[in-house]
Amino acid sequence: MEQVRVFISINFPSETKLKLSGFVSGLRDKFSDVRWVNDESLHLTLKFLGEIPANDLDKLYLGCQNAVSHIASFSFYCEGLGMFPNEQFPRVVWLGIKKGETELKALVCKLEADLAKQGFPNERRDYKPHLTLGRIKTANNSTKKLWKDLSPYHSFCLGEIVADRICVMKSVLGSSGAEHFVLKEFKLGGNKNER
């Protein structure tokens, strides 16, 4: 049975991607211990499903449609660097969400509920809205001081982003990383647009 690797995200407009790409490019030049995210892969993940049977895509689409049908569009701000699991032992560098976190969590909660009705498992961890910028390649002495070295960039602000749709994305793994393709998008408020 054919499998497809999928996730649900909020994708960014081109001007936001351009600003973010410039920021990440500056980090890439200075911090080689981090595998920085490819410019085209910059998005806000709402739910990662991993490999699912291609036959289940219609159920996934129905769950997404139901989830967004009564949620109005809203804005959120990406601002401030952080690290998972923490600054002392970093594995992931991320950009946080300031305003709009409550709305994002409500959207994810609705997605989880409506996808569960279609047979998709709930995420076991609480949703912490963030934008992954890079992953630490290997833990060494330089990564332990990475947080301090990144201090000039701690307060970077991407600015306001309007969330007016969610996208079901296909992720194809390759030798140079993952490539992402929009399978279908759903406007908040219930209007469906296919691509």
Q: pLDDT tens, 136-179? A: 877 665 667 888 889 999 999 988 999 999 999 999 887 767 78
CATH number, domain with residue 13 = 3.90.1140.10
The whole domain housing 112 covers 3-194
**Cα torsion angle, 156, 185, 3, 52, sign:** positive
In 3D, which of 133, 130, 179, 125 has the Cα closest to residue 153? 133
Name the pLDDT band for 30 (thresholds 50, 70, 90). Answer: confident
Cβ contacts of residue 195 below 8 Å, gap of 6+?
182, 183, 184, 185
The pLDDT mean for the chain works out to 89
Question: For residue range 73-99, what is the model confidence (pLDDT) as tens digits?
Answer: 999 999 999 999 888 888 899 999 989
Per-residue pLDDT for 62 more than 70?
yes
| Predicted model pTM | 0.87
Contact assessment for residue 76 and residue 163, using Cβ atoms and an 8 Å cutoff = yes
DSSP H helices, the chain, are: 14-30, 57-68, 101-116, 141-144, 146-149
Q: In the chain, how many domains are there?
A: 1
pLDDT of residue 194: 45
- DSSP state at residue 39: G
Q: What is the pLDDT of residues 93-133, one digit of tens each?
A: 999 998 999 999 999 999 999 999 999 999 988 898 999 99
Shortest CA distance to 161 belongs to which of 28, 4, 11? 11
Of 15-24, 37-46, 96-105, 184-193, which range is least confident? 184-193
Task: Identify which of 156, 184, 183 has the alpha carbon closest to the alpha carbon of residue 171.
Answer: 183
Mean pLDDT, rounded, for 47-73: 95
